[in-house]
A and B are shown apart, each in its own frame.
Chain A
Amino acid sequence: MSTTVVPPSPPQKLNRIGLGPSDYKGNKSTLCAGCGHNAISERIIEACYELGVEPHRVAKLSGIGCSSKSPAYFLSTSHGFNSVHGRMPSIATGTMLANRNLISIGVSGDGDTASIGVGQFIHLMRRNLPMIYIIEDNGVYGLTKGQFSATADLGSTLKNGVINDLPPIDTCALAIMLGATYVGRSFSGDKKQLMALLQGALGHHGTVMLDVISPCVTFNDHVGSTKSYSYVRDHDAPVGDVSYIPFFEDIVVDYDPGTTTEITLHDGSRLLLKKLNADFDPTNKTEALKILMEAHDKGEIVTGLFYLDTQKPNFMELLNFVDEPLATLPESSVRPPKKVLDEVMNSLK
């Protein structure tokens, strides 16, 4: 039996609805230490706490993948749904149809979104369903151990040397073209920027699509990488077990709008992040797409809020249904009276 005395925790600072940060926590993460996805969960926790989001109003939705496990790791007093691979958009759509008062936060992977789920993704954006859709984008399939995803850069290699010879899908450009009304990109380690984007997202009334670059510490381990499996195995830990997963520190960046910064990932590869200028006008669709296309040519990853439209009606507004949630309408509102059935029957006689 343990004799350790647990010191009383310092009093929590409560938010506007009287909840503390711990009320927004989830279960302990089972993702690899250093996985970018964990940092994103933390930002979601912070953003919801700071804005005083009521956890019972949140529906946490996901598909399948390491990223899709994330909803278990934040907001444990919110209903969650870890559905099937790539099809979270339809689950989200149905959920919102049933209860328009919910705040949907969907988490997906780049495989989940841009490969198997690209069809549903496209139509979600097109409908402008009010929800927050976050892609935890690592360029690989994490949960199935490191295959290329459709957002992997042209020319990047797998650990066995296979070269990716297809261009990446830019999910932000796609979302903007299709009709999402709040589209941005960030980096999991950029606390300040990601927080700002998430807080803005929580106040938006249409589809929010955030592509968050989120390094996979485990499967970016090709030869030449100083922190690859083999490197760690040979130089550090005395294990021959291939399922050994090294532990890494989270990558953190902080840089100013309008500037570019280079970060080195755990596998030694580098990303060139460029933050949009503070005076960038996100209401100009063409400009947003132009910036994304130019960045591709330069090998840069632009981050920030690319596009915002607060006027376009969202899907629920187009459907024009009653204000109360459809899910809990009483029988008297959803079962027409007998005289209606009689009227229909008479017309068929």
Chain B
Amino acid sequence: MGTTDLAVKVASTTTSRHEKVINDLSIQVATVNGSGSQSANTVLLRSIFRMGIPVSGKNLFPSNIAGLPTWYTIRASKNGYIARRKEIDFLVAMNPETAEEDVLSLRAGASAVFDEKLNLQRLRDDVIFYPVPFDALVAPVCPNAKLRKLVRNMIYDGVLAKLLGIPMGEIHEALKQHFMKKPSAVDLNFNAARVGYEYAEKNLPKRGRFYLERMDATRGKIIIDGNAAAALGAMFAGVTVCTWYPITPSSSLAESLASYMKRYRMDPVTGKATFAIVQAEDELAAIGMAMGAGWAGARAMTATSGPGISLMAEFVGLGYYAEIPAVIFDIQRTGPSTGLPTRTQQGDILKNAFLSHGDTRHLMLLPASVEECFSMAVEAFDLAEEFQTPVFVMSDLDLGMNNWMSDPFPYPAKPMNRGKVLNAKDLERLGGFERYRDVDGDGIGYRTLPGTKHPKAAYFTRGSGHNERAIYSERPEDYVNNMDRLSRKFETARKRMPGPVLQESDGAEIGIIAYGSTHWAIVESLDQLRQEYDLPVSYCRIRAFPFSERIMDFIRRYQRVYVVEQNRDGQVYELLRIEADAEDIPKIHSIRHYKGVPIDARSVTDEIVSQEGKK
């Protein structure tokens, strides 16, 4: 199997080999990392989107700056499926090192656009080949030899435009959007695309079945990646302190935040900002600063990924026990250890649920879409302050760094919830307060912020044993009282966290449970199971930990429930088994996908069909 997991030489297909296929195809561009193909790929994606066709783009890239193979997959789907699809219909083979393997992994009937010099047509006779002399074409349009490497890629956009039916006007518009401030770049790139188009027109008669035609399914929609969406969410949540340390795939979250905040949260005249974004010296400092800021009353956050989370464990335990709000975006990547640093996984769920030593439990939000990256970012800051605790937003590389089509994000409906904070006036009225006392029976105490001008405001925060008055104590009853209150707080959160999204099918005996970016493969798999196997399946999408009671009800209602996730050990499967009633535990089954590439619908369908004994 190839590095990209696309080895499906002969795939089952329901349409005949000669029928015209409109607005349902996947394109894969294979290039060398660092060759500047990103612009060409984004423009291609945008042009298809501009034609009104639902589209998604996924970047499979190595942990390397230049030289190693990288793949970009674009999926256009009239049905609106945006999960990864393994089968490739159109290959653009630009990387000499992987070209042969890329061509060999195509299914019969697919097409391959390639650099003439690679002579790939010798490899197969069941693939349609389109050789293009890239170097000869680029030279006249780009006299600057230094830029040629970049501009060369635009040629394949032109070739594909001709072969698939993308209007050149859309390529031009997409280029304008892409190179916003540089008209010269637009011209240069458009000329290259045009050369490709004209070459294809003269020399590459269209064969094969795949076409793109205008439709109207993307009007009003946006394209954004999950990290930019989460950054926007944080800005509209009113974040004031962001402290972070670079790590793929989370860096772009903090970087997007910085650029949005500079634009919208800074006085253009004085340059004074309503925020601080600090690149810390490491993750220990990043979370420590967020904790200090949260303690002192700021809406504080950090963004990181697995290795960073490991370093943050001690501080997160402090946050739990001393009850300090902070939001931690975990853009999960493939572990363990350095793992596959630029590949995707849902591998930090179990770890984060109980991160740190002793009895700890943490709140987690599990966004499945860019829209939820935005809305859950907003929600996370409210939850952190409401519950005075660290809150994790569990995104992943696929969601965070890939471009997704979405409806525009709605403006936050609720005002900010700053939680139970007492000011000087409150203290005057109350005559004082006890920091860790469960006044309201919900497990959540009241706090004051440092700087509050009242003699009764101050309390002492510590990670060691304390009583209700925040005074150091090792007395067993104080410890137990505190720990029990923290459990109570967790139970309050169970009711407050976003509940599951249920989609129940008539006559279904079995159910699927999934979460996060896995969602899109499930949506498509549910259709496959019904259409191809006449198997109705119900679906429960988990959106938060602690789990809602409604998830347990869902399990109770079905004969068998498949928990589909992207990790080896079935991490949510395990968590559900901890919480489920004993008689329900045998009903819960696990489907795991952990190849580092995003999960696809066919893998889910095949696995369910096989476990159900239908194949």
Q: Which residues of A contact B (CB under 8 A)?
A: 54-57, 59, 61, 71-72, 76-84, 87, 89-99, 101-102, 119-120, 122-123, 319-323, 325-329, 331, 333-336, 338, 340-341, 344-345, 348-349
Contact = CB atoms under 8 A, between A and B. Distances in A.
Contact of B298 (A97, A120, A335, A345): A97
B275 A82 contact: no
Nearest to B261: A336
B220 A321 contact: no
B329 interface: no
Given A95-B296, A97-B298, A349 B222 contact: yes
B274 A345 contact: no
A84 B318 CA distance: 8
B297 to A, nearest CB: 3
A91 B236 CA distance: 25
Interface string B265-307: 1010001111110101110111111111111111110000000
Contacts of B280: 90, 123
Interface string B233-253: 001111111010000000000
Contacts of B243: 90, 93-94, 97
B61 interface: no
A83 B318 contact: yes
Given A95-B296, A102-B451, 17 more contacts: A54-B453, A78-B450, A81-B292, A83-B291, A90-B291, A97-B298, A120-B281, A319-B273, A321-B272, A321-B276, A322-B274, A326-B274, A327-B298, A334-B239, A340-B264, A348-B222, A348-B408
28 contacts: A54-B453, A56-B452, A56-B455, A56-B457, A81-B461, A83-B463, A84-B315, A89-B285, A90-B289, A92-B292, A93-B292, A94-B291, A98-B240, A98-B295, A101-B451, A119-B282, A320-B271, A321-B274, A331-B238, A334-B240, A334-B299, A335-B236, A335-B412, A336-B235, A341-B409, A344-B232, A344-B260, A349-B222
Contact of B462 (A82, A320, A322, A345): A82
A83 B294 CA distance: 13
Contact of A123 (B240, B271, B281, B290): B281
Contacts of B416: 331, 334-335
A95 B287 CA distance: 12
Nearest to B378: A335
A93 B278 contact: yes
B420 interface: no
A36 B454 CA distance: 32
Pairs of residues from A and B, 7 with the lowest C-beta to C-beta distance, nearest first: A94-B292, A90-B288, A327-B297, A98-B296, A98-B298, A334-B238, A94-B293
A99 B289 contact: no
Contacts of A102: 296, 450-451
Nearest to B407: A345
A123 B236 CA distance: 30
B296 A327 contact: yes
A151 to B, nearest CB: 21
B458 interface: yes
- Which interface residue of A321, A326, A329 has the most chain B CB atoms within 10 A? A326
Contacts of A320: 271-273
B292 A321 contact: no
Contacts of A54: 453
Contacts of B275: 321, 326, 334
Contact of B459 (A71, A79, A87, A120): A79
A88 to B, nearest CB: 8
A120 B289 CA distance: 11
B491 interface: no
Q: Is the interface of A mostly helix, strand, loop or mixed?
A: helix
Interface residues of B, number: 71
B454 A56 contact: yes
B223 interface: yes
Contact of B240 (A76, A79, A326): A326
A250 B240 CA distance: 46
A95 B292 contact: yes
Contact of A87 (B232, B285, B411): B285
A78 B455 CA distance: 9
B613 interface: no
A96 to B, nearest CB: 8
A81 B315 CA distance: 13
A94 B290 contact: yes
Contact of B450 (A59, A123, A335): A59
- Which interface residue of B260, B272, B296, B452 has the most chain A CB atoms within 10 A? B296
B295 A97 contact: no
B314 interface: yes
B464 interface: yes
Contacts of B238: 329, 331, 334-335
B460 A80 contact: yes
A348 B272 CA distance: 27
Nearest to A319: B276
B460 A99 contact: no
B472 interface: yes
A91 B457 CA distance: 20
B472 A72 contact: yes
Contacts of B452: 56
Nearest to A349: B222
Contact of B458 (A56, A83, A327): A56
A84 B145 CA distance: 56
B450 A83 contact: no
Contacts of A349: 220-222, 408
Given A82-B461, A93-B289, A328 B297 contact: yes
A89 B286 CA distance: 11
B300 A87 contact: no
Contacts of B415: 331
Contacts of B300: 94, 98
B273 A119 contact: no
Contacts of B464: 82
- Which interface residue of B273, B285, B286, B450 has the most chain A CB atoms within 10 A? B450
A80 B411 CA distance: 38
Nearest to B177: A347
A328 B449 contact: yes
